[in-house]
Amino acid sequence: MFTRSDDKITPSQAVVFLTDSLLGAGILTLPRSATEEVQTPDAWLSVLLASVLALLVVFIMIKLSQQFPGNTVFEFSQKIAGTIPGSVLSAVLIVFFMMMAIFEIRILAEVTLFYLLEDTPIWAIIIPFIWVAAYLISGGINCIARLFQIIFPVSILILVLSLFLSLRLFDIDNLRPMLGEGLPPVIKGLKSTLLSFAGFEVVLILVGHLQHPEKAVKILLAGMGIPIALYLCTTVMVVGGMSIDAVLRSTWPTLDLLRSFEISGLFFERFEFPFLVIWIMQMFCNFTSNFFVASLGISKVFRIKFPAVLFTLMPVIFIAALLPKSINDLLGLGEANGIMSVIVFVLVTMPLSVIYLIRKKGLKQHA
């Protein structure tokens, strides 16, 4: 089980794990949600600004986690703040990762239903993914990371190839004028763009599972760099290829961009289908990561055996994933997750960091 002390991951596995924990439904929705808030062609600047903020927050999380080698946030939060306050802070994190898992599995099912398996009951799509994820998680973080390493290069290749082929539709005029209405719209867009980076909080448990935690800053910031570059490129290509008016009318603008062109003579003439099949696996990785961290947190905080936690959460996630009645309700849950990501930093990471700095000497003596 993952609770073994030797269940560690290599630096390359950590990079892939963090990348796959971030890349998911955001690729499909980010261009629209960002443009909706900004209302100008500067949505990509909001993504860039959100990236800088995310990197700063991740750096703080890594430095805090490095002070407690071999421990996850669910363990060192109790060492820093005390058993009860630490458990409360951990509970906030658990709720956040549960919400992320529920959002990701439902949006995975929605996209599959809309584009690939029309008229299939949504529960029939959700159940197999939950079962497969639970089976994978039961093998521990190293088992999860090995599967992520298989899916990662394929999904990145397909995404980059799809964006490259869409260059034929790209028009730089769709991105002009730059900062035509100044910085306020760009700052306003942070509300929606931060959602796509929600999930980087997984670094709070990754450092504890690293074979070389002293290299965590370099390793995990590299893991952040890949999704940042892909989100930025996707936003630029979608807005540049479709214009902001077309993006605002689309629920899944990235897929609509890929549907806008055909490549004759290739094995696939329409690229949205191979992209979608591969990206469903990527969203599954994202869901698995959040499911794993939520299970890990409950097991460690409440000292319950992991298999019991895992099998108890399966029906909970299934029922919760069916609660949103419409796509608007689902996207509303996504916005709530973005807000929750900020709350996690304000209520969990910052207090733990401040308390640690205040009690640093005493903690070291106790250790």
What CATH number does the domain containing 67 carry? Answer: 1.20.1740.10
Q: Is 60 exceeded by the pLDDT of residue 6? A: no
- Answer whether residue 2 is part of any domain: no
pLDDT greater than 90 at residue 319 = yes
Model pLDDT, residue 364: 52
Asked whether residue 197 carries a pLDDT value surpassing 90, the answer given is no
- pLDDT of the residue at 265: 53
For the segment 18-29, the average pLDDT, to the nearest whole number, is: 83
In angstroms, how far is CA 226 from the centroid of its own chain? 12
Answer yes or no: is 38 within a domain: yes
In a domain, 44, yes or no: yes
> What pLDDT, in 10s, does the model give residues 29-51?
888 888 888 888 888 888 888 88
Interval 19-28 mean pLDDT = 82
What is the mean predicted confidence (pLDDT) over 319-334? Answer: 86
How far apart CA 111 and CA 89 sit, in angstroms, is 34
pTM over 0.95: no
Domain contains 3:
no
pLDDT score, position 296: 92
> Residue 101's pLDDT band (boundaries 50, 70, 90)?
very high
Is the distance from CB of 33 to CB of 195 less than 8 angstroms?
yes
For residue 22, what pLDDT is reported?
Answer: 85
Q: How many folded domains does the chain comprise?
A: 1
User: Do 81 and 347 contact (CB within 8 A), yes or no?
Assistant: no
Domain presence at residue 1: no
Q: Is 82 a domain residue?
A: yes
What gap in Å lies between CA 45 and CA 49, rounded to an integer? 6
Count other Cβ atoms within 10 Å, centred on residue 242. Answer: 26
Full residue range of the structural domain in which residue 306 is found: 11-366
CA distance readout (Å), 262 to 156, 246, 271, 339: 20, 19, 7, 38
- 33 falls within a domain: yes
Q: Does residue 316 lie within any of the structural domains?
A: yes
